[in-house]
Every structure is written in C-alpha cells, then in structure tokens.
Structure 1
C-alpha cells in the first residue's frame, strides 16, 4: 500500500481550505489517520524545547492539554533532532509518550511509531506523530512519500504561525501563544470564555493601561497578570508581586513605598518599596480589595501623579510603573458599601478582565487535568500517568469551588495515592483516587436539602452542616483560613476553634 497522487492532493486541498487553522489541522490529521491506517495521529507545535499538541485524532482528549518536554520524552527529542523521517523499531526501549493514551488500546503499548519533524527555513516548528498497535503498520509507506506529507503539513503550519504573527503584530521571535510566559506558566484551554480572555490579553498587553483582573479564588488571575506583563513593552523589566491580604496595616505603607532609616521603631536601615522595585516594569497587586482605605488614597496619588514618598522621608521621587490589580471580591459593591474608594476603582479598572470559573469552561477541565498529569509525572519521575474514562467523567461532574488550584491539588493527591500501589511508576488514575466527595457542590440549598434530621439528632445535623460549609468555603478560598473566615464573617481564631471541635482540623 502507498499514498496515491489523489491521496496527497486531498491532503493539500484540506490544508488550503479557508477554515480557521485549528479546524483545518483537526480535519487534516483525521484524513492522515485514515490514509496511513494509524491508531493515533497528532500534530505538535515546537516551542521552548517542548512539543504542544495542536490537533489529535485517536488519542485521549486530555492529550491536548499535555506539554511534552524534550528532556522528559526521548522519542520526541529524537524526532526534534532528526532532519528526516524517524521510524522507531517495534522493540525500541524508548518509552512512547502516548502509551496508555489511545482509548481503545489503553492497556497496550504503542508498537509502530513514525515521527516527521516539520521545518520552516531550516527551523524546527513542529512535528507530526503517527502511531499504531501493529508493529508492521507503516512498513508499506516509503520515506519519500512521508517526506512529501511532512512538507505539506510544515507549509501549512508555517502559514498559520505567520498569520498569527500578523494578527498579533508581534516580531517573528515572539510568535508564541498569548498566555505563554518565559518562566513556565501557560494558560491552557480552548473554551469560548478562555479564548475570549486570551484575545483581550493580547489587546491590552501592548498598551500601558492599568488592568483590574476579577474572578473567583484559584482561577489563575496571577497567570493573567504574568501574560499581560510578558506581552508588554515592559517585559524585560521586573514584574513585582504583592499580596495585599497578607499585609498587616502597620507595615503596608512601608511595603508599598519603602521607608528611610529611623522612620519608626525597628527601621534600622533604608527599605526599598514595591513601587521602586517595579520602576519601568509592572506591579501586580493581588487581592486589592483587602487594601486599607488609608492606603487606597496614597495608591491613588501614585496612579495620578507617578510620584512616591518613602515613610519618614520629606522628599518624593518619580516612578514609571504599570499597575495590574486582582480581586475575588465585587469591588462595585465594596464601593457602594464605602469599603473601597470609587476614584481608585475607576483608576484601576480602565480595562477590566474577568477570568471564568473552571465549572464554566467545559472540556477545559480535561485539558487542564492532562496538563497537570504530565507536569506531575515529570516532577515525580514517573513513567506514565493516565486518566481513566471514569476519572475524566468524575472530574467533569464535580463543581470545582476551588477552581484550577483545586484541580491541580486533586490531580497531585490522586497520583500520590495511585503510586502507593504501583512502584513501577505506570499509573492509571481511577475515580477512587480522587477525594472529591469531601466538598459539596456550591449550591447551598442543595446541601441544606440533604439534611432532613429529626428532633433527636438536631445537634448532630447542625454540626454536619457547619462542617460541610467550612470545608466548602476553605476549598473555595484556596485553603486560606483567613479568607474563609472573612467570607463566613467570623473571627479567624473562632473559626479555627470551631473547625477543631468539628474535626475539620
């Protein structure tokens, strides 16, 4: 069997059609899988010494969220280093990155594997991988035929990258996903909400506007701030982080603006504040809604006039700082309640961005689960981490009050539990490895409706309800007792005592 002129022509036509390139690539690899008779096909994009799946066919959906670092995947490294078609022998000892990830053959290892590196002007831009369970599956195709397929796909991928470059109006060296940042973080997802967010980040990153980032705890607001900074003209300068909720009011002014020696008891030397550290760069103020009103006035002055004054210093100095702020609170309501200055709110929210909750992102849950599985696999030195169909269904059913942060922790805990019985390091995560039943869905009425106690067990039912509420609120606030206490309108010491009595601690 070989590829006919008609087959190759159909590939070329698929690639040149006018649909958006993600759809075009998805259709292409479906066509290739049929033509080559493979069990799984994937188109990967190369960047930062790793391969990122753009389109897959025959593989588990979570593969789209995985990022395959060359250092951790010798087969993909071999493809990246090759200048030609790579055929791996059926008895190759190199682990295949897709072992366990072909749904119909999850209990079998890949036996036939082809890799086609994709080049543009001698620069590696991606790869096409073709896998099969039959060791002789691709023997009938010549290298010449496969090279032609690779050339067609490489041309289409390069065109798509150039189009992305023109749309974003970025230099060629910066043609990377908008939410990608140099220190390893990435905004993973293909849902409508996250795609819209990525577009808005691209729009605002190139400006110098202040940005207010809103969203629930754990949705990734800091990641959005990093994406804005890395896409801005300030990217070569510092991004300075400050958590306003962790600031005692007595030292908050010093943290923001610095102090001089002798300004107050304990000020034994000069201190540089966050604004000075961020000069010509970006200052990210997390949980801005927690900033005391007295400091809000001083922050407003910096935003208006660009000058700061160290505590205990009579002179002022000018700084050039872009401010990004984030909050999980409703600042408009805080303004109405007199807890947040209206003029500061308007200064900060010149360009507001909202990060959607995980439960609103549909299939992104699967992609993010795959991303964290691969990340944990590499960190823990495991051979393989696969999500079973039952585990994927469980993750989709769950409400994720703690959002992405909770998902990341849930994946890590599941891997730790699964690894206890599999020292060889080839893990399949099953529903029983996830401890999600401890947190009830976010709808309080449903939780309350489950409690239909008789008079005799009213105290027990009350304790159980309080226990559920505390656990749920902790999860929704990233396990922060202080934040949970604020949401429950309790003193944090009282919350600790109550949790201890109820057995939560």
Structure 2
C-alpha cells in the first residue's frame, strides 16, 4: 500500500486539527474515522483519570457505556493495552474477561465479543488513554494493516494533545475573562450610589481612563480614593497588567527609594540581593501612589525625573532602565498648601495633577448613605455566615444627618460593629431577619464624630478627657482611649500630616502607621 493510500483516510483528521471543535465532537469524529478505516462492530476512546479509564467517545457500543468508569485493576485487558506501546490483540480463547461483553446492542441473543484489540495513546511519554476495537467475528482483525494502524495512532495522539491544549487555553481565557468581569463587577458594586456627585465621578473616571494621563485623586480620608484608582486602571488599555500599589505613608524614610526604584546587591546594609522596584513591576501597567504627600522631598526630585523621562536608576547603580508606567496618585492633603509651605515640590505637583479627580465626601452624597448601608450589610452578613440583616426605620434619620468625618470607611466600620452587636440579640426561633436599631449603631450627634475616632472633649487636653470617663473603661481601654485622643489632637494640629505627627511623637513612621491602624484612626 502506498503512502498516499495510507494517508487518504486520515485527511479529515488532519483538517480537524485546525478547526474549532468541542472536545466531544473532535473525539467522536476521530473515532468515526477509526471505525470506518478499520471495520469492526465497536470502538471506544477512553482517557486515563487516576486509576480508571473514562469513555470520551464510543461508536457501536450501548449508550450506557459513556456513563461507566473502568477501573484499570479490574479489567486486565484494558490494563494490558495501557501498559504496552504496541497494538495489543487478545486471542479468541483468552480467559481474560472483556469489559464490553453485552454492550454491543444487537437484536436477538445477547452476543459476546469474540475479537478484541487496542492501542495505548501516550502524550509526552506518559500514558494518556486507550483506543479499543471489538468485533463479533473472531478473525476480523487477521488482515489489519499495521502500517496504517501505526499512522492512525500517531494522528490520534496528535489529536488528543491538540484537544487538551486547546481546552486548557480556552479555560485559561475563560478564567481570565471571569476574573476581569468579577473585578469590574466589584468596582461597579463597590462604587455604590445614585447621587449626582457619584454619577459625575464615574463619568470623570470613564473620561480619563482611556488615556495615559497622570491622575491625582483627591479627597478626605476614607472616601474611596483607592477604589477610584482601581476603576481607572480596570477601564484602561493597561488593565491586562497588575495595578501596583504603594502606600507612601507606610514606607520607612530610608527605604522609600529602594521600594520605588529598586536596588542592586550591596547598595546598602541589608541589600543581600538585587531587587526590582515598584516602577519596574508596573512597567506596561499602572502604579498607584497612595498618600503621595508623604513622599520625602529628596525622593520627590527623583520621582519627578522618572515621570519626566521614563527612566529609573536602581539604588547603587548608574545604569538607566526605561519603564512605561502610568501613575495614579492619591492624597487627602491640600498639595497646593503643601507647595506653599515648602513641603512639596511645585514641579512635581503640576506633573501629578495633569488630570485631578475629586472624590466627594460621604456627607455630600445624600441618600447614597442608605445604599452603602445595604451593601455593607449584605457583604458582612455573607462573610459572617449570618441571615439577612436590615436597618429599622429609626436608623435612617440618624445615618443621614451624621457628618461621617471618616466617610465611607467610617460607615463601613459602623455597620460592621452594629451587625456584630445585633447578632448578640438575634434569636433564631424568634426572627428570620436580623434587625439593626439605633442602639446598635452607637453613633452620637453630640460631637458628630465617629466612635472609633473620638476627638478631644475638653480644653484640658486628651489626658483629662480620657480620665473623665475612666470608670466605664478597663485599663487597656483607657490607654487606647488616651492614645486615640492624643494622636487625633496632634493630627488635627498638623493638618493630617502623619509623617510630621510621627516625628513629634518620637515614633518610627511605619510603627506609627500600624498604631493608627490598630486604633482605627486611618
């Protein structure tokens, strides 16, 4: 038989390799061609999955075969086929049971298979599965063309390998698309609100996201500046890359440059290995510089150079590296005032504020507060494994008239605390929904400040204010209260400048930042 004659039956198989087919359809077409080329009463393609062979396609076998699993150890014929790299044919009088006995649907008596053979399929030298042929005629395979069978087996291996690769790629694409959809859904869901100020904010985000302009996100503490930065990145053409986040306020002053620009081995004490900085990690993507107003003046000069030229130098190196990074910065400070006070470079400010976006405080968002309450209740109920929760009508005026100095972050903390308190009053046999009352909210309009961030209540200073309430507090609670009052007073005097406050209190900036987080002051 000529090569042309050998290859002719398999033209469709080769053509299928470039077609977009489902794995099921691809396997079935392969098996149909196999059975047409090598006449038999039944054929099957089975894939090895652990210790069992799973049918992926059958032709000539009962439909129920597709629902079975053939344990290799329980079927010596299949085990023999799988372990051999050559086609395996079993003698008619072999005592080994045939796994397909009774599975060839025929009218009349239930006939047994008399001639059986199979071939193992190997992918990258590992067993993938088997193809089996069965016939009722004991001599059906006496004249089988072994050269043609060898060609077919190689094509079958190529087909299943291509199907596996295509399926993995499709699953990867679907997974990435799902992640993208979830990220976008999270952004949209988290930016809850129907007020005009939020509609305007979303419009600004959509407008600037399509460009590569540097964005300066401004707004009070807790309004959601990071959320805005993520929305800008997710709607940009750079969304396939990661959003690299840097909290400038949490960086130790002596390591700011290393974190941003990287360093070479031995650049300073402790630099045991070379390290890429955030700008390198964000190459081709977006770098979010949160609390940009905390960057030291010395580092501001180098940051300006990077933004102007797109070139960085690792600490301890003279070599220039070129990066393509979009910068989105955020601050809760008035950088124009910082420029006037000499604490921030004017040229860097103008470079950062190419497209400023102002995030409105919660008090300017009207009834969005109630929508956010619903979002936080749903999120926390699900996270805590609790039934649905609701606000009683008495809560609405309290929530709507409170000033929310901590904005959305403060509201989220408030709802989390209220849900925990309401859970303690919840009785499964009495209620189907957890109800949150004004007592659970625990917010006061007397000083109109978050209970997690109390302000000084006396001209005598924070110590006197803490001592005045000492009978209601444990020692630890009293110390925490004193620290909150003292630090809040210092932050207010320093216009929210955390770095300056840390220096006045004689604390390392990173330790100070962790203390603020523990005391819920940031």
Q: TM-score, normalised by structure 2?
A: 0.54
Name the residue aligned to 1:343: 347
Q: Is the 8 A contact 1:282 1:321 kept in 2?
A: yes
Q: How does 1:270-419 map to 2 (within 5 A)?
A: 270-419=274-423
Q: How does 1:207-222 map to 2 (within 5 A)?
A: 207-222=211-226
Q: Is the 8 A contact 2:369 2:400 kept in 1?
A: yes
Name the residue aligned to 2:266: 262
Q: Is the 8 A contact 2:362 2:404 kept in 1?
A: yes
Is 1:433 matched up with 2:437? Answer: no
Name the residue aligned to 1:43: none
Name the residue aligned to 1:491: 505
> What whole-Å deviation, never above 9, does each CA across 1:344-365 have from its counterpart, x for those lacking one?
0000000000001111111011
Is 1:187 matched up with 2:191? Answer: yes
User: Take 1:450 and 1:419, find their aligned partners in 2: how far apart are those partners?
Assistant: 31
Cα displacement (A) at 1:393: 1.9
Name the residue aligned to 1:140: none
Cα displacement (A) at 1:299: 0.5
User: Take 2:343 and 2:275, find their aligned partners in 1: how far apart are those partners?
Assistant: 29
Q: Is the 8 A contact 1:307 1:319 kept in 2?
A: yes
User: Take 2:405 and 2:305, find their aligned partners in 1: how far apart are those partners?
Assistant: 37
Unaligned runs of 5+ in 2: 1-176, 470-480
Name the residue aligned to 2:29: none
> What whole-Å deviation, never above 9, does each CA across 1:26-77 have from its counterpart, x for those lacking one?
xxxxxxxxxxxxxxxxxxxxxxxxxxxxxxxxxxxxxxxxxxxxxxxxxxxx
Name the residue aligned to 2:243: 239
User: Take 1:372 and 1:441, find their aligned partners in 2: how far apart are those partners?
Assistant: 21
Q: Is the 8 A contact 1:209 1:351 kept in 2?
A: yes
Q: Is the 8 A contact 2:490 2:501 kept in 1?
A: no
User: Take 1:217 and 1:459, find their aligned partners in 2: how far apart are those partners?
Assistant: 25
**Other structure's SS at 1:389 match:** coil
Cα displacement (A) at 1:426: 2.8
Is 1:223 matched up with 2:227? Answer: yes
User: Take 2:455 and 2:267, find their aligned partners in 1: how far apart are those partners?
Assistant: 54
Closer/same/farther in 2, CA of residues 195 and 437 from structure 1, 3 Å limit: same
User: Take 2:207 and 2:355, find their aligned partners in 1: how far apart are those partners?
Assistant: 10
Which is greater in Rg? 2
User: Take 2:238 and 2:463, find their aligned partners in 1: how far apart are those partners?
Assistant: 58
User: Take 1:252 and 1:362, find their aligned partners in 2: how far apart are those partners?
Assistant: 39
User: Take 1:420 and 1:462, find their aligned partners in 2: how far apart are those partners?
Assistant: 28
Cα displacement (A) at 1:372: 0.3
User: Take 1:322 and 1:348, find their aligned partners in 2: how far apart are those partners?
Assistant: 11
Cα displacement (A) at 1:491: 1.7
User: Take 2:242 and 2:459, find their aligned partners in 1: how far apart are those partners?
Assistant: 56
User: Take 1:451 and 1:474, find their aligned partners in 2: how far apart are those partners?
Assistant: 13
> What whole-Å deviation, never above 9, does each CA across 1:130-150 have from its counterpart, x for those lacking one?
xxxxxxxxxxxxxxxxxxxxx
Cα displacement (A) at 1:440: 2.1
| Matched pairs, number | 317
Cα displacement (A) at 1:462: 9.8
Q: Is the 8 A contact 2:455 2:488 kept in 1?
A: no
> What whole-Å deviation, never above 9, does each CA across 1:105-163 have from its counterpart, x for those lacking one?
xxxxxxxxxxxxxxxxxxxxxxxxxxxxxxxxxxxxxxxxxxxxxxxxxxxxxxxxxxx
Q: Is the 8 A contact 2:294 2:499 kept in 1?
A: no
Closer/same/farther in 2, CA of residues 441 and 489 from structure 1, 3 Å limit: farther
Cα displacement (A) at 1:484: 6.3
Cα displacement (A) at 1:470: 4.7
Runs of 4+ residues over 3 Å off in structure 1: 179-185, 447-453, 457-465, 467-477, 482-490, 492-496
Higher relative contact order (Cα pairs below 8 Å, separated by 6+ residues): 1
Q: Is the 8 A contact 1:440 1:468 kept in 2?
A: no
Unaligned runs of 5+ in 1: 1-172
User: Take 1:329 and 1:504, find their aligned partners in 2: how far apart are those partners?
Assistant: 19
Cα displacement (A) at 1:338: 0.7
**Other structure's SS at 2:394 match:** helix
Q: Is the 8 A contact 2:285 2:325 kept in 1?
A: yes
Cα displacement (A) at 1:238: 1.3
